[in-house]
Structure 1
Amino acid sequence: MARALLCSHLPPSISSSLPLKSSLLLQWPSISKTSHSLLLINRRFSAAKISMSLRAGIVGLPNVGKSTLFNAVVENGKAQAANFPFCTIEPNVGIVAVPDPRLSVLSELSKSQRAVPASIEFVDIAGLVKGASQGEGLGNKFLSHIREVDSILQVVRCFEDNDIIHVNGKVDPKSDIDVINLELVFSDLDQVEKRIDKLKKGKAKDPQSKVKEEAEKSALEKIQQALMDGKPARSVSLTDFEKDAVRHLCLLTMKPVIYVANVAESDLAEPGKNSHVEDVMNLASELQSGLITISAQETKAWTIRSGMTAPQAAGVIHSDFERGFIRAETVAYDDFVAAGSFAAAREKGLLRSEGKDYVVQEGDIMLFRFNV
């Protein structure tokens, strides 16, 4: 899945302390507004200190404004931004809180000692060039950094400026996107083919392992065909079991993508007039939902993926919640706030019991019942 985000002209040579920063941040809610679903967790695990932030890698061709975007988004960001390729070699990392006004409301109702917002960890990754999958530029080192993140922010240059070097000599967002995507496809294809060969040579030791290996092989063969057609792994229809079987590979093209159109500040008011932006904006789709836990100790926001079932969402907090999931007592956010507490919502008959197949909805508040 992919989503398009419009930002102001962020040439690599311009510091994030300039007014351009505010132009970018005005557009930023188009990412953060997707983090909104809420859940209430069992008090038995209220003191957990597990960190669960979404890791988003900022990628793109060299010199398109990746580090300047990082500096604009991350408070006190100090990534080097310069008008030459590969000014970033080692990744820069920064953590940004995701605002959600409902967090404070739930914290007050539950009388939590503190409120902890969800966070996104941004990773500014070195520029990728054509042939990276074969070692060009920073090659495999760059690709390994992408493999470690949960989602990809691909910065695409959509502004004309003769003073800012373009690694390919011209501004062509569609071509830039194709270069990045094809390198990710080539890298995944190499990994998938090696894994298939290994599965063919190996023999599972027990029936359960054999079933899992067969599922992985089936999934990889479908993914292999898609990659050979130039399509990302995320475009392949897989069962939940198949997805779990290939998850350990951390395939690059399985990750959701946000395309960040880096435009001139003058284009922000009417981006539709920029022909470069039109191509990028057609790639938009949903990315993330959010999760909040409440207890007397703290109210904490988490990040979950859209379409997660109740057990999967519970597993974001702790694997025991998913492993021993029984049911989730659920109430809508507005009903919970109106009732004033979970107990009051139960007395008024506002709670409903949801099972393992229930898909978490926007604004759900849930009390997980589990046994391990």
Structure 2
Amino acid sequence: DSRKDKALMPVLDAARAAYELLGRGEPVYGSGLDSAGLRELSLLSAKPYLYVFNCDADELADRELAAELRELVAPAEAIFLDAKFEAELVELENDEEARAMLAETGVDEPGLDVLARVGFETLGLQSFLTAGPKEARAWTIRRGMTAPEAAGVIHTDFQRGFIKAEVVTYDELVAAGSMVAAKAAGRVRLEGKDYVLAEGDVVEFRHGSTSTTKKS
């Protein structure tokens, strides 16, 4: 078929290259093969993945072991956590107790938080936030999405009628105390249709099919 349809040549080339890699016991993911051709093949070995190692306290402190394991699974990411410790951490009643427990063990960030963050990065995902009188919510989008595309994740009408996006970073909003205070301090930016959302942006979308401006 590839002889008749030149558009299939990239798929054939990708299939041959993937066959050679797999024959050598090497993963397709991270190999640098043409992504367009690989998408047509839907190979499981071409999908992004990561490794999670369940370690005890001594193993977590062993940097040499961590480096060895990272090299073993490269180019995939490696996450190291103590499942028992993580289970105890989530059972604590408040964040203050959790921070104290982390400090006692010399851990900067809970392993489950690392897993979620690296998992998002591996899958090419990120989050943005919306906040209103009724609720505050995080929305998952693909990394690199523009403001109108992100608005469409909430509702397709928001994308079709996109006008502008009011954007403030999460840290700046928390420091200001409210969106009103953030606007008064000049921390809220007005972005157009070409703006690419950053991780943790807090956004109010202006949209509407008529001259009336609505906010999400």
TM-score (norm 1): 0.33
Cα gap change, 1:273/1:359 in structure 2, threshold over 3 Å: closer, same or farther? same
The one-letter amino acid of 1:278's match is: E
Aligned equivalent of 1:99: none
1:228 lines up with 2:16 in the alignment:
yes
Cα gap change, 1:271/1:338 in structure 2, threshold over 3 Å: closer, same or farther? closer
- 1:1-372 equivalent positions in 2, closer than 5 A: 222-230=10-18, 231=28, 236=34, 251=42, 257-262=48-53, 265=56, 267-270=59-62, 272-273=64-65, 275=68, 277-284=70-77, 286-287=121-122, 288-372=125-209
| Aligned partner of residue 257 in structure 1, secondary structure | coil
For residues 54 and 185 of structure 2, what CA distance do their matches in structure 1 show?
52
The answer to whether the 8 Å contact 1:261/1:277 transfers is: no
- Alignment gaps of 5+ in structure 1: 1-192, 201-216, 239-245
String of CA shifts for 1:56-85, please: whole Å, max 9, x gaps: xxxxxxxxxxxxxxxxxxxxxxxxxxxxxx
Number of aligned residue pairs:
150
| Aligned partner of residue 301 in structure 1, secondary structure | strand
For residues 299 and 255 of structure 1, what CA distance do their matches in structure 2 show?
36
Greater share of helix: 2
The one-letter amino acid of 1:312's match is: E
The answer to whether the 8 Å contact 2:130/2:204 transfers is: no
| Aligned partner of residue 49 in structure 2, secondary structure | strand
Aligned-pair CA distance for 1:280: 0.7
Aligned equivalent of 1:243: none
The answer to whether the 8 Å contact 1:272/1:278 transfers is: no
Cα gap change, 1:358/1:227 in structure 2, threshold over 3 Å: closer, same or farther? farther
| Aligned partner of residue 76 in structure 2, secondary structure | coil
String of CA shifts for 1:297-337, please: whole Å, max 9, x gaps: 22122222222221222222222222222221112223322
Report the RMSD for the aligned CA atoms in angstroms: 3.8
For residues 60 and 206 of structure 2, what CA distance do their matches in structure 1 show?
48
**Residue identity (%):** 40
TM-score (norm 2): 0.52
Cα gap change, 1:255/1:343 in structure 2, threshold over 3 Å: closer, same or farther? farther
Aligned-pair CA distance for 1:354: 1.2
Aligned-pair CA distance for 1:256: 5.3
Aligned-pair CA distance for 1:225: 3.1
String of CA shifts for 1:39-70, please: whole Å, max 9, x gaps: xxxxxxxxxxxxxxxxxxxxxxxxxxxxxxxx
For residues 45 and 154 of structure 2, what CA distance do their matches in structure 1 show?
23
The answer to whether the 8 Å contact 1:311/1:356 transfers is: yes
Aligned-pair CA distance for 1:360: 0.9
The answer to whether the 8 Å contact 2:128/2:197 transfers is: no
String of CA shifts for 1:256-314, please: whole Å, max 9, x gaps: 52322446657444364375552214323733322322222221222222222212222
Cα gap change, 1:337/1:312 in structure 2, threshold over 3 Å: closer, same or farther? same
For residues 264 and 336 of structure 1, what CA distance do their matches in structure 2 show?
37
| Aligned partner of residue 165 in structure 2, secondary structure | strand
Cα gap change, 1:224/1:331 in structure 2, threshold over 3 Å: closer, same or farther? farther
String of CA shifts for 1:122-142, please: whole Å, max 9, x gaps: xxxxxxxxxxxxxxxxxxxxx
| Aligned partner of residue 312 in structure 1, secondary structure | helix
Aligned-pair CA distance for 1:235: 5.4
The answer to whether the 8 Å contact 2:162/2:206 transfers is: yes
